[in-house]
Amino acid sequence: MISQDMMGLGKKRSTIREIFEYGNARAKIVGRENVFDFSLGNPNVPAPSVLTEELKGFIDAEAADALHGYTSATGIEWVRESMAESLNSRFGTKFSKDNFYMTCGAAASICIVLKAIACPGDEFVVPAPFFPEYRCWIENTVNGKCVIVPARTEDFQINFEAFEASINENTKAVIINTPNNPCGAVYSEETIIKLSEILKAAQKKYGHAIYLISDEPYREIVFDGLKIPFVTKYYDNTFVCYSFSKSLSLPGERIGYVLVPDEMEDSKDVYAAVCGAGRVLGYVCAPSLFQRVVGKCSILTSDITVYETNRKLLYDGLINAGFSCVKPQGTFYMFPRSLEADEYAFCERAKKYDLLLVPGTDFGCPGHVRIAYCVKTETIERALPLFDKLAKEYK
Amino acid sequence: MISQDMMGLGKKRSTIREIFEYGNARAKIVGRENVFDFSLGNPNVPAPSVLTEELKGFIDAEAADALHGYTSATGIEWVRESMAESLNSRFGTKFSKDNFYMTCGAAASICIVLKAIACPGDEFVVPAPFFPEYRCWIENTVNGKCVIVPARTEDFQINFEAFEASINENTKAVIINTPNNPCGAVYSEETIIKLSEILKAAQKKYGHAIYLISDEPYREIVFDGLKIPFVTKYYDNTFVCYSFSKSLSLPGERIGYVLVPDEMEDSKDVYAAVCGAGRVLGYVCAPSLFQRVVGKCSILTSDITVYETNRKLLYDGLINAGFSCVKPQGTFYMFPRSLEADEYAFCERAKKYDLLLVPGTDFGCPGHVRIAYCVKTETIERALPLFDKLAKEYK
C-alpha cells in the first residue's frame, strides 16, 4: 500500500555506497591508510579560505532573522546578478538575473527541469557514460523513457551515429555532462557544434523543441588551460544545471542553479514552469546563507591544482602498468578499461590489494572502472605499485 | 510542449505573495512604517544567540571539506540521535536515530512522504483550514485527489461528521497541521483521540493502512504553557513532518526531518520508501552545516514571548473592536471572521487603512482573514486604531 517503486529505490543501495561501506569495514581491519578508496566523488580540497571569511562575515554583519529568512523562491536578486556576471565575464554571454533560478544543487536543478518540461510519453536521451541518477530521475521523477546512447570508448566524445538513431518524435530532451563523470572527458567545440546541428535538424523535422540539459558541476575543473565551449552559445534550447558542490567543495550545502537563457523558445513560459516545478517538488527557496556565500564567490574555485597533479601521477602510472585509458581533461575521475571483460570480476580482484574501484556498468559503460582521484596525492603514490601488481596478474 | 501544469503553477503568484508585493509598493508611497503588512509568516524574532555561536563554532572547529561535505542521505548520525533525544525528553517517546530522515524543511518532508506512499487512485483528506500548498502537492507532486473537510469554525477543532464522510476505501492519508496555520488552533487530546479512533476503524473496515501526516512546524510555538499531544503516541501510522523554520527562526535554511516511528506498519519498508522518494525528488542530503547546527539546538527555540505578547494585544484589540475570533493557542497567526460575507471585499476595504490581510478562501475557509502577527509589537499597537476604524464602517 506504499509506493513499491520508492521502496525499491530506497532499499537498493548504490554500488558506490556499497563499496564505500566495504572500505570502512576494511579500514577497521587493515588500517585506514591501507585502504585505497577511490569510490566517492567527495572533493578532498577545502573550500577557498575567502569563502570561509565571507561565510563568517555574513553571520557577523547581518541580523539573524534577515540572514536566515525566506528568500524569493527564485533566489536573492543580487545573488542571481552575481551568477550572471560570473558567466558573462568568463564566457562572453549576456545573461541577466532573470535567467537564473537558485536551487538546492544540481540534483535539484535536473529534477526541476525534467518536471518543468516532461509530458506523458516523453523520451530522454542520455549519451553514455552517464551519472547513474539520470536514469532514476527520468524514470521515476517524471515517468519518462530513458534512452541510452552507447559510449564512444575511443575518446568519450559522442557516438553520433547511435545518437542520431536514438532521436525520434517523442524525444523531449538530451542530458549531457561535460566535463564528464565518470570519464573526465570534455566535449570539444566540434562535438557541441555537431550535437547542436543534429538537434536543430530534429526540431525542424519533428516540429517541436528538443531541449539540451547541460549538467555542469565540473565546469570549472579542467586541466591544461582548456577552454570549455559554453553550450547555450551553440544551441538556444539549452538548460544549464549547475552546482557549486565540486568547484567550491560544498557538496553538502546543496546550492546551485538552473539557467534558462532568453534565447530559449518561449523562455518566459519555460522559466515559469521551472518555478512551478520547484514548488511541486517541495523546494521553497535555496538555502539562504549559502545563496549569499556563493553570490560572493561565484568566480572562485577551490585549489584544484591537486586534482591536476593527481591526474598526471595516476594516468602515467596506469599507462606504465599496462592499462588503457582515455586521458581525462577535467573532473577528478578516471575511467580506464578493465583488464578483463567482466569489470565486476576485475573490481573483486582489485579488492585483494584494497584498491576500491567502481564498475562501469552503472554508468552505462561496461568493461571500464571509475577511479575517483579526489584523494591525497600520497594515496595515489602508494596505490600505484598495487595497480602494477594487479596488472601483472593479467600478463 | 512543456508541462502546462508546471507553467500554470509558476505563473500563478500566490495571493500572499501578491499582497506582500502590494505592501512593498505602498511602502514607497506612504512609508514603510505606515504599511501594516500582516501577510507573511516570516519569523521576526532572530534565531537564539546560542545558535549563532554554534554556527560559528562549527566553522572554526571543523575542516571545511568535512564540514561542507556530503552527509549520509538520511542525515548525520549524531544529529538524528539528537532529534530523537529532543523528542524523547519532552514527550516521553522512545525514538532512535533510525526513525529520522533529515530533510530540506517541512515542504520537502511532506512531498517526500506523499511520494513515498502514493499509489494511483489515492485520496488525501485535509481538514480545513489548511496550508494552501497541501493541495498543490497532493494534486501535482503525486497526482492524488485532495478531499477537503469543511472547517468547524466555532473552535477550529475537526468537523468529525464531515471528516468521517470524507474517508473511503481510496483514502491513503490525512494531513493535519496543529498548531494550525492559518488559525492558531491546537488540536486537543480529545480531538486527537477521536481522530485516531475514526482512522483505526477505517483501517479495519477497508483493510489497509491509512496514514496520518502530522505537519508540525509550529509545535514549539504554543501559549499559556499548553501541552501538545504528540500524535505518534495516539496513532501508530503517523508520519511527523517537522521544520526548524519557525521554532528556530531559520525558514531560509531549509532544515527539518521526517519521522517514521517503529510502531508504523512495515516501518522499515516505509522508511526505505521515504529514502527512495527523497532520491527521486532530487534531495541528496539536508544542508550539512545546518544539520549540525540544529543537532546542537534541537531543544531550543527563539524567544517566542513576543508572539504571546502580540497575540494578547491583537486578540483583545480585535474583540474590543467588535471582531469575532477563535483565540489562537499557538503559531503567530490569527484568523478572525471577516466583517462581511465576501472576505475579499473586506480585505480590499482594509487596504484603505493599509492593513494587509490574507483572504481565508485559499486556506479552505471563506469568510475569514489571516493576520500574521510575527511583527513588532509596536506595529500591532499602531494598527489597532485602524482595525477599530475599519470595524466602525460596518456598524
pLDDT digits (tens, 9 = 90+) for B318-342: 999 999 999 999 999 999 999 999 9
> Contacts of residue A280 in chain B, CB cutoff 8 Å?
6, 9, 111, 136-137, 140-141
The stretch B194-216 carries a mean pLDDT of 98
Cβ contact B209–A1 (<8 Å)? yes
Interface membership of B271 toward A (CB under 8 Å): yes
Whether A3 sits inside 8 A of B133 (CB atoms) is no
Cis before A385 (ω within 30): no
Peptide bond preceding B328: is omega within 30 degrees of 0, i.e. cis?
Answer: no
Question: Which residues from B are below 8 Å from A141, CB to CB?
Answer: 280-282
Predicted TM-score (pTM) of this structure = 0.97
* Residue B138 cell numbers, joined: 497532493
The answer, yes or no, to whether residue A114 has pLDDT greater than 90, is: yes
State the best of B45, B65, B110 to mutate against chain A, taking most chain A CBs within 10 Å: B65
Q: Residue A264 has what pLDDT?
A: 98
% of chain A exceeding 90 in pLDDT:
96
Of residues A63, A249, A282, nearest to B68 (C-beta)? A249
Beta strands in A41-121 (DSSP E): 100-103
pLDDT at B254: 97
C-alpha cell at A177: 555532462
**Ramachandran angles phi, psi of A259, nearest 5°:** -110, 120
* pLDDT of B40 over the 90 cut: no
**Does B347 have pLDDT greater than 90?**
yes
- Judge whether residue B14 has pLDDT over 80: no
Alpha helices, H only, chain B: 4-11, 15-30, 49-61, 64-67, 77-91, 106-117, 133-136, 160-166, 189-206, 267-280, 288-296, 305-321, 343-351, 377-392
pLDDT at A16: 84
Report yes or no: B61 at the A interface, CB cutoff 8 Å.
no
Residues of B in contact with A116 (CB under 8 A): 2-3, 6-7
Query: What is the band of A232 on the pLDDT scale with cuts at 50, 70, 90?
Result: very high
Q: Is the pLDDT of residue A319 over 80?
A: yes
**In this predicted structure, what is the pLDDT of residue A18?**
85
- Partner-chain contact B8 A276, CB within 8 Å: yes
**Percentage of chain B modeled with pLDDT above 70:** 100
Q: Which residues lie across from B229 on neighbouring strands?
A: none
pLDDT at A14 over 80: no
Residue A385 is predicted with a pLDDT of 98
**Minimum CA–CA partner of B51 in chain A:** A64
Q: What is the mean pLDDT of residues A132-143?
A: 96
Distance from CA of B126 to the nearest CA of A (A): 18
Q: How far is B1 from chain A (nearest CA, A)?
A: 7
Read off the C-alpha cell for A355: 584498491
For position A20, what pLDDT does the model report? 84
Min distance B324 CA to chain A CA atoms (Å)? 31
- Does the pLDDT value for residue B13 go beyond 90? no
pLDDT band at B264 (very low <50, low <70, confident <90, very high): very high
Is residue A61 within 8 angstroms of chain B, CB to CB? Answer: no
CA dihedral A266, A268, A273, A275 (to 10 degrees): 160
Chain A CB contacts of B6 under 8 Å are 115-116, 272-274, 276-277, 280
Give yes or no for a contact between A51 and A59, defined as CB atoms under 8 angstroms apart.
no
Question: How many other CB atoms sit within 10 Å of the CB of residue A312?
Answer: 12
pLDDT in tens, A99-110: 999 999 999 999
By the 8 A CB rule, do B187 and B214 touch? no
Cβ pair A280:B70 closer than 8 A: no
Closest CA to A271 of A139, A78, A80: A80
Q: What's the Rg (C-alpha) of chain B?
A: 21
Whole-number percent of chain B with pLDDT over 90: 96
In the predicted model, is pLDDT for residue A298 greater than 80? yes
Selecting from A116, A274, A288 the residue whose C-beta is nearest the C-beta of B252 gives A288
The per-residue pLDDT for range A321-345, each reduced to its tens digit, is: 999 999 999 999 999 999 999 999 9
Query: Average pLDDT of chain A?
Result: 96
- Taking the CA of residue B253 and the nearest CA in chain A, the distance in Å comes to 5
Q: State the nearest Cα–Cα gap between B278 and chain A, in angstroms.
A: 9
∠ at Cα B143 (B182, A260), nearest 5°?
85
Distance from the B107 Cα atom to the nearest Cα atom in chain A, whole angstroms: 5
Residue numbers of A between 196 and 235 with CB closer than 8 Å to B = 208-209
Question: According to the model, what pLDDT value does residue A345 have?
Answer: 97
Residues 66-95 of chain A whose Cβ lies under 8 A from any Cβ of chain B: 67-71
pLDDT at B12 over 90: no
Contact B7 A288 (CB under 8 A): no
